[in-house]
Amino acid sequence: MKNTLPKTLFAMALTIALLAPSVRAANTIETEPLKLNLPLHTLKGTPEDLPAGPNIEPPSDKAPPPINVPKGVRNVAAGKSVTSSVPPFLGDLSQITDSKKEPLDDDATEFKKGVQWVQVDLGQSFAIHAVAMWHDHRYVQVMRDVILQVSDDPEFHSGVTTLYNNDVDNSAGLGVGTDREYFELEFGRVAVGKGVKARYVRGYTRGSSQSALNCWQEIEVYALPVK
Ligand SMILES: [Ca+2]
Ligand SMILES: [Ca+2]
């Protein structure tokens, strides 16, 4: 008789354990690794005087591990309209969402120095799960003050969510970032969105380790329709 209670508890625990997977499956969105269409490898050789420091990821020939995103996300930025803090002096804003990002001069849009931004209008709010950005991987260089924000406000005055910020000394004036600097390579950089709902995506930079000028090649926004 003294074993009855533990046996009953064991039976209950077993029942819960057997039921749990089906309960979990009903509440979980199916995910898969984000698959990017990567451009060719950066053609120019690696310079000898690479910047270094605790806040800079060393360059790697291997792609970083992909993030997981819900099945069915697609690049909703492709072909969408782009605005910017200043007009480009080389290239066209439409090239930032034209799906081309090879390490070629023809695939780069350049802006004057200072803190500058480009902004994609997705046309409507989406549940954003990842934003991939390529600034300028014609050269192995570190972009400064890489800040990526999303909002439903085209002026970015309210409802702003920051998805990436590596401005650790707040030189861009948008707040201290905790992300790391990285070398521009064919892998670009992926910011995690976690389903944040927004219509506008804005990316800031302030020159690079190689140039005071700003440059963009592509922004891809992997998202689902808002339910
Ligand atoms: Ca492009
Ligand atoms: Ca900075």
DSSP string for 3-55 = THHHHHHHHHHHHHHHHHHHHHHHH---EEE------PPP-SPPPSS----TT
pLDDT of residue 168: 96
State the ligand closest to the CA atom of 207.
2
State the ligand closest to the CA atom of 55.
2
In angstroms, rounded to a whole number, what is the distance separating the alpha carbons of residues 109 and 107? 7
Distance 168 CA to ligand 2 centre (A): 6
pLDDT of residue 100: 98
C-alpha neighbours within 13 Å on the C-beta side of residue 80: 20
Distance 24 CA to ligand 2 centre (A): 43
Distance 220 CA to ligand 1 centre (A): 10
Chain centroid offset of residue 226 CA: 19
User: Taking the model in full, what pTM does it have?
Assistant: 0.87
> Cα–Cα distances in Å, from 111 out to 114, 127, 206, 208?
9, 29, 10, 12
pLDDT of residue 46: 75
pLDDT of residue 1: 45
Distance 91 CA to ligand 1 centre (A): 10
State the ligand closest to the CA atom of 102.
1
Q: What is the pLDDT along the chain (227 residues), one digit of tens a residue?
A: 445 556 666 666 665 556 555 555 556 789 999 999 999 997 777 777 888 888 999 888 899 999 999 999 999 999 999 999 999 999 999 999 999 999 999 999 999 999 999 999 999 999 999 999 999 999 999 999 999 999 999 999 999 999 999 999 999 999 999 999 999 999 999 999 999 999 999 999 999 999 999 999 999 999 999 98
State the ligand closest to the CA atom of 206.
2
In angstroms, rounded to a whole number, what is the distance separating the alpha carbons of residues 118 and 219? 10
State the ligand closest to the CA atom of 37.
1
Distance 115 CA to ligand 1 centre (A): 21
pLDDT of residue 225: 97
State the ligand closest to the CA atom of 99.
1
Phi, psi dihedral angles at 112 (to 5 degrees): -65, 170
**In the chain, where the domains are located:** 31-46+67-225
> Which residue carries 């009953």 as its tokens?
8
pLDDT of residue 163: 98
Which residues on neighbouring strands pair with residue 128, listed in sequence order? Answer: 196, 223
Which residues on neighbouring strands pair with residue 109, listed in sequence order? Answer: 216
> Tokens for 145?
């003050």
Distance 187 CA to ligand 1 centre (A): 14
pLDDT of residue 157: 98
Q: Given 2.40.170.20, 2.60.120.260, 3.30.450.20, 2.60.120.330, which CATH number is that of 31-46+67-225?
A: 2.60.120.260
State the ligand closest to the CA atom of 104.
1
- The candidate with the shortest Cα–Cα distance to 59, out of 186, 145, 169, 179, is 186
